């Protein structure tokens, strides 16, 4: 009992330091022994495949798996896996489509179009008009789509879907083969539409300072992208 309460106090002291509420549950942190990582006695080592479900592919494409796909294959996969939510013309979800109600509030699902509209009064944000990196498109589809079965698409089918989307957006030739190398050479139309700029930094006084380089009255495309 005395050991328990001593550890409780120890844990509570740590909780404040680490800002982690779970530390308050009376656990002494495991101590590394002899330079080894601490061992907790449960769980298994995740495989690279399991880890890859959680690791985003960065813009430079590091970690892209091998595989390849074409517009034609992508069109077929799209018709099976994507059309019911994103529309036959990639125009997004409209009336009568099978979009679950909880998704209806998430933009309009439109994937192409809107090029050149970002600095107008009615900007249209799509992969074509907005996304700066094709590698992000591969990564996003692979990890999140279709929303009903994220991670279920093969790597090559994701390359094929990218070929289809970018082909429809006239960003690449419809005859292009997209693989882990050619994907890196895709020049997205809005690639240069972003500026380096600090996000608003909260000041200790509670005031907010915005980046002096951000164009006034425009939040897009003068922001860094969170995707
Ligand atoms: C069940 C409906 C559903 C299906 C099927 C689906 N999506 Fe989506 N998709 C969504 C929703 C909802 C979002 C918006 C998610 C968000 O904003 O967090 C989205 C967003 C996207 C985006 C990002 C668009 C943007 O500009 O933010 C892409 C790209 C995309 N989907 C591609 C696909 C592809 C490719 C497929 C087929 C493999 C697919 N989706 C299948 C519902 C779906």
Residue 207's pLDDT band, with cuts at 50, 70 and 90, is low
Which residue out of 101, 115, 147 has the highest number of ligand 1 atoms within 8 Å of its CB and is therefore the one to mutate? Answer: 147
CA of 147 to the centre of ligand 1 (A): 7
Is residue 75 helix, strand or coil? helix
**CB within 8 Å of 52: residues ≥ 6 apart:** 63, 65
Tokens of 194: 């972003």
For the chain, the structural domain boundaries read 1-28, 58-185
Residue 94 clears pLDDT 90, i.e. is over it: no
Residue minimizing CA distance to atom 33 of ligand 1 = 145
CA of 145 to the centre of ligand 1 (A): 6
Q: Give the whole-angstrom CA distance, residue 124 versus residue 41.
A: 51
Are 74 and 165 contacting, i.e. CB atoms less than 8 angstroms apart? yes
**CB within 8 Å of 180: residues ≥ 6 apart:** 61, 64, 65, 66, 67, 68, 159
Identify the CA nearest to 128 among candidates 137, 120, 119, 141. 137
Burial 60-79 (b: 16+ CB within 10 A, else e): ebeebbebbbbbebbbebbe
Contact 111 CB / ligand 1 (< 6 Å): yes
pLDDT higher for 23 or 136?
136
Residue 98's pLDDT band, with cuts at 50, 70 and 90, is low
Which residue out of 82, 117, 125, 188 has the highest number of ligand 1 atoms within 8 Å of its CB and is therefore the one to mutate? Answer: 82
Contact 129 CB / ligand 1 (< 6 Å): no
Q: Give the whole-angstrom CA distance, residue 214 versus residue 222.
A: 6
Contact 158 CB / ligand 1 (< 6 Å): no
Are 180 and 67 contacting, i.e. CB atoms less than 8 angstroms apart? yes
Tokens of 56: 């985003």
CA of 115 to the centre of ligand 1 (A): 19
Query: pLDDT for 146-199, tens place per residue?
Result: 999 999 999 999 999 999 999 999 999 999 999 999 999 999 999 999 987 777
Which residue out of 112, 128, 131, 145 has the highest number of ligand 1 atoms within 8 Å of its CB and is therefore the one to mutate? Answer: 145
CA of 31 to the centre of ligand 1 (A): 44
Q: Give the whole-angstrom CA distance, residue 127 versus residue 139.
A: 13
Task: Read off the pTM.
Answer: 0.72
According to DSSP, the β-strands at 208-209 and 201-202 are antiparallel
What is the CATH architecture of 58-185? Orthogonal Bundle (1.10)
**CB within 8 Å of 185: residues ≥ 6 apart:** none
Relative to the CA of 137, which ligand 1 atom is closest? 29
| pLDDT reported for residue 3 | 41
Are 172 and 163 contacting, i.e. CB atoms less than 8 angstroms apart? yes
């Amino acid at each position: 009992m005395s050991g328990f309460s001593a550890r409780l106090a120890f844990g509570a002291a740590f909780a404040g330091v680490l800002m982690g509420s779970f530390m308050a549950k009376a656990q002494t942190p495991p101590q590394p022994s002899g330079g080894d990582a601490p061992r907790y006695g449960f769980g298994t080592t995740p495989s690279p495949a399991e880890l890859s479900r959680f690791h985003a592919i960065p813009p430079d494409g590091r970690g892209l798996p091998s595989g390849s796909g074409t517009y034609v294959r992508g069109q077929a996969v799209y018709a099976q896996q994507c059309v019911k939510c994103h529309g036959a013309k990639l125009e997004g979800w409209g009336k009568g489509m099978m979009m679950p109600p909880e998704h209806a509030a998430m933009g309009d699902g439109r994937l192409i179009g809107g090029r050149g509209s970002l600095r107008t009064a009615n900007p249209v944000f799509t992969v074509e008009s907005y996304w700066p990196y094709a590698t992000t498109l591969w990564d996003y589809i692979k990890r999140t789509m279709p929303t009903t079965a994220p991670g279920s698409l093969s790597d090559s089918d994701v390359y094929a879907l990218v070929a289809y989307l970018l082909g429809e957006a006239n960003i690449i030739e419809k005859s292009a083969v997209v693989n882990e190398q050619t994907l890196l050479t895709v020049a997205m139309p809005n690639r240069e539409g972003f500026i380096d700029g600090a996000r608003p930094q909260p000041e200790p006084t509670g005031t907010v300072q915005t980046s002096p380089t951000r164009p006034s009255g425009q939040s897009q495309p003068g922001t860094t992208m969170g995707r």
